[in-house]
Amino acid sequence: MGLWQSRRVSFISESAPSVLSVLRRQFDVSWGLFDYHLSRLGGEDFRWEPAAVCWTVRPTVDGGWEPDWADVEPDPVPVPTVAWLTWHIGWWWSVSIDHLRDEAPRDRTAVVWPGPTGATVEWMRDLAGQWRELLDAGPDLGAPARFPWRDDPAVTVADAVAWVNVELMKNAAEIGQLRMLRTVGSVGG
């Protein structure tokens, strides 16, 4: 009899926190980092291009904004700007919210970036508020997730919530790094 067969260890006890409470705390950590960087963004941070090959959000003739996009990721992958990252967050987060609400997910082209202003920061904060409301409502974490895995029955809503938390943390770190590089670069010359 092997070690694992002789010792049945339960990693979940009655006193263990619920999966939802862990996911909620994970979101709070991710959001805390993101909000830290959002609070420090200036208008010049959004469209700063740190490299020759960048994805950004470009002004349109009608006064709107259009994100750079390729259906097949190019090689090398363009460095995203803060503008592009905030649009991208708005897109995947809005679609995630649509799926959890059991609504038709909006198309990528229907997600409009507000511009390099406080409106983008408020948009991000509004999405965070909607996400908190969904988590507070106690979603069925064991139900199959329809996004981002295209209806794989082995992947649950809990997986989707964890993915949102991780994706938010990754994008927050990218935005923070871009903001710090621009700030330090402008100070040093």
Q: 73, exposed or middle or buried, with CB in 10 Å at 0-12, 13-18, 19+?
A: exposed
**How confident is the model at residue 185, as a pLDDT?**
83
Helix (H) or strand (E) holding 176: helix 157-188
Strands 57-59 and 65-67: antiparallel
Q: Which residues contact 160 (CB under 8 A, 6 or more apart)?
A: 96, 99, 100, 145, 147, 148, 149
Mean pLDDT to the nearest integer, 30-47:
96
Q: Is the pLDDT of residue 5 over 80?
A: no
Q: Which fold has domain 26-188?
A: Four Helix Bundle (Hemerythrin (Met), subunit A) (1.20.120)
Q: How far, in Å, CA of 174 to CA of 124, rounded?
A: 15
**How confident is the model at residue 10, as a pLDDT?**
42
Q: How far, in Å, CA of 173 to CA of 33, rounded?
A: 8
- State the pLDDT confidence band at 1, using cuts at 50, 70 and 90: very low
Span 68-123, pLDDT tens digits? 999 999 999 999 999 999 999 999 999 999 999 999 999 999 999 999 989 999 99
If one counts every other C-beta atom within 10 angstroms of the C-beta of residue 52, the result is: 7
**How confident is the model at residue 3, as a pLDDT?**
39
**How confident is the model at residue 21, as a pLDDT?**
94
Q: How far, in Å, CA of 183 to CA of 173, rounded?
A: 15
Q: How far, in Å, CA of 187 to CA of 189, rounded?
A: 6
Q: Which residues contact 4 (CB under 8 A, 6 or more apart)?
A: none
Asked if residues 45 and 179 have their Cβ atoms less than 8 Å apart, the reply is yes
**How confident is the model at residue 11, as a pLDDT?**
45
First to last CA, the chain: 67
Span 123-178, pLDDT tens digits? 999 999 999 999 999 999 999 898 877 768 889 999 999 999 999 999 999 999 99
Q: Which residues contact 175 (CB under 8 A, 6 or more apart)?
A: 34, 37, 38, 41, 82, 85, 86
If one compares 140 and 187, the residue with the highest pLDDT of the two is: 140
